[in-house]
Amino acid sequence: MTTTARSVTDQLSEGLRTALAAAGLPPLAECVWEVPREEAHGDYATNAALVLARAARRSPRQVAESIVGHFPALSAVGRLDVAGPGFINVTLAPDWCRAALPEILAAGAGYGAGEDGRGRRIRLEFVSANPTGPLVIVNARAAAVGDSLARLLRSQGYGVTAEYYVNDAGNQFLALARSFEARVRQALGEDAALPENGYPGEYLIDLARDYLKDHPQVTRESLEVIPAVDALRDKSWLDELGGWAVARIVEGQKKVLHDYGVDFDVWSSEQRDVRDRALPEQVLRELAARGLAYEQDGALWFRASQFGDEKDRVLRKSDGELTYFAVDVAYHHYRKFADAGRVVNLLGPDHHGYVTRMRAAMQALGHPADAFDVLIIQLVTLLREGQPVRMSKRRGEFVLMEELIEEVGRDAARFTFLTRRHDSPLEFDLVVATRQSAENPVYYVQYAHARIASLFKQAAAQGIAVPDRGSVDLAPLALPEELSLVKRLLQFPNLVAGAARALEPHRVAYWLQELAGQFHPYYKVNRVLGADRALTVARLALCAAVGQVVRNGLALLGVSAPESM
């Protein structure tokens, strides 16, 4: 029998099912165990009695007492209590908990891994910033959340395809091409004005210089044959300029993301992979065949309201032009779902309406209701010692992602973005993120790992030999705070599995801060190397397990675990 945290809840659930059968109570579809906020309420708790009370035709407390009375003897369980209106609280047996430490150490980097997603594939799209300029701070948040989520899902056995969708077609592409053309003309000495709703950032000035170096044949004279900015455009010329600019911008985005620890499996291009008219026309025919598309006022509409949307949606306009929605439906249906049973997109806060209509379309095309999901990444307010840092992409006064990494570092940036839920606005203080104190969450967690690494260096210098983990006598770990630490470590696999299921990587960051908050006071008060040999070795084993779990948790967030700070 293993003593990992996954087996804690597995054993408790099996014991609960046995108790229900023995007591003649109805079976429970799902056994849910939670870690109570207060230690006085035990180590795990379930509301099973409250859930079953109506079916059992008894009060929740009577059901709870019957469950406790028929609960089988388990080595993991030290005590069972009925609390409040009918909650069942479980306190783990100390000896059983201590016996888990060697297994945590034996599992090493694999501790926390699971099998829930084995055989299932997920297509995960995140960042996908328009290729109209460098990545900015909100893109950095999306990258931290998305990449950590990919790591979490992979740790649970899911096959994950991480995708970056390059929106290199449509009006924004045209605005970029026209803005870039103006910068090229300016670089050649021409008095060219930026187009209305263009992109004024100075990065296009630098790109224009690079373009002219790569294209010496482009001169002021050669451009005289091309109409002026406000006249009819030469499409092939704009496509060439825009394509060159997008390629360079995307190249820069890839480098910054790589430096941030994010590498995508797939870089999709709207122009290359989506704008094939055959795909959208095919999905229109499929919806029509299902009776879910109709003509009205010369346009083709999708019956989105039949699937929970507030109104029907246009697929093809009266002038024959396909809507972006139609193109996106085709791409999701024929490309994304081609190699995945579930699709998850991380999008900005201006996409709330998109979620309902796209989910409606996917259901209409036969995908399960939970097969398509969207996480909304809220905006970031950048501060410096509490004062806002101005940024405006439209005016070109934005804060670049690469500047953020240079100022605070990859680890601090990624961890800070994960200290709040993805759908909550975030205040990011640049000064706090570089402060070496408990106020800086990533420093506080990493320092726990560095302290433990330093401890083992001291032990080696003092000639203290740590015996094999399987032969360590752990009985000396009798302090309440030591048992509390062990119980915290036992929660880790369930925490990771739950974070993956909920698509919430911030749970891992929260939990690591709580673990560090337990370890630092324990380390300060209790001597490890100065105790007698038996206690020293037992405490070294405990510290080694804490260090291993901190390392594993930080790896899931794409954050390093330094051995010195």
What would the pLDDT profile of 294-352 be if each residue is shown by its tens digit? 999 999 999 999 999 999 999 999 999 999 999 999 999 999 999 999 999 999 988 88
Instruction: Determine the pLDDT at residue 230.
Output: 41
- pLDDT given for residue 51 in this prediction: 96
Q: Is 302 helix (H, G, I), strand (E, B) or coil?
A: strand
Burial 425-446 (b: 16+ CB within 10 A, else e): ebebbbebbeeeeeebbbbbbb
DSSP per-residue letters across 489-551:
HHTHHHHHHHHHHHT-THHHHHHHHHHHHHHHHHHHHS-STTS-HHHHHHHHHHHHHHHHHHH
Section 258-266 average pLDDT: 97
pLDDT of 166 above 60: yes
In percent, the amount of the chain with pLDDT more than 70 equals 94
Cβ count near 505 (within 10 Å): 27
437-556 belongs to which CATH class?
mainly alpha
Quickly state the pLDDT bin for 415 (edges 50, 70, 90): very high
Cα 259 versus chain centre, distance: 18
The pLDDT score that the predictor gives to residue 171 is 85
Residue 227 confidence (pLDDT) above 70: no
> What pTM value is reported for the model?
0.92
* Res 467: pLDDT: 64
Whether the predicted pLDDT of 395 surpasses 50? no
Q: Give the CATH number of domain 5-92; options: 3.40.50.970, 3.40.1390.10, 3.30.360.10, 3.30.1360.70.
A: 3.30.1360.70
Scan for tokens 């229900």, then name that residue.
20
Q: What share of the chain is helix, strand, coil (3-state, %, to 5)?
A: 50, 15, 35
Per-residue confidence at 232, pLDDT binned at 50, 70, 90? very low
In sequence order, the β-bridge partners of residue 45 are 34, 89
Amino acid at residue number 311: K
239 vs 2: which has the higher pLDDT: 239
pLDDT tens digits for 485-511?
A: 999 999 999 999 999 999 999 999 999
Residue 27 has pLDDT above 90, yes or no: yes
Q: How far apart are CA 73 and CA 78, in angstroms?
A: 9
Structure confidence at residue 255 as a pLDDT band (50, 70, 90): very high
Mean pLDDT (the chain, rounded): 92
How far is 234 from 373, CA to CA, in rounded Å?
40
Ramachandran assignment for 382, one of left (phi > 0), alpha (psi -120 to 50 degrees), beta (any other):
beta
% the chain with pLDDT above 90: 79
Q: Using the predicted structure, report yes or no on whether residue 14 has a pLDDT greater than 70.
A: yes
Within 8 A by CB and 6+ apart from 502, the residues are none
Q: Report the distance separating Cα 163 and Cα 7, nearest Å.
A: 34
Residue 370 has pLDDT above 50, yes or no: yes
Write down the domain spans for the chain: 5-92, 437-556
DSSP state, residue 238: H
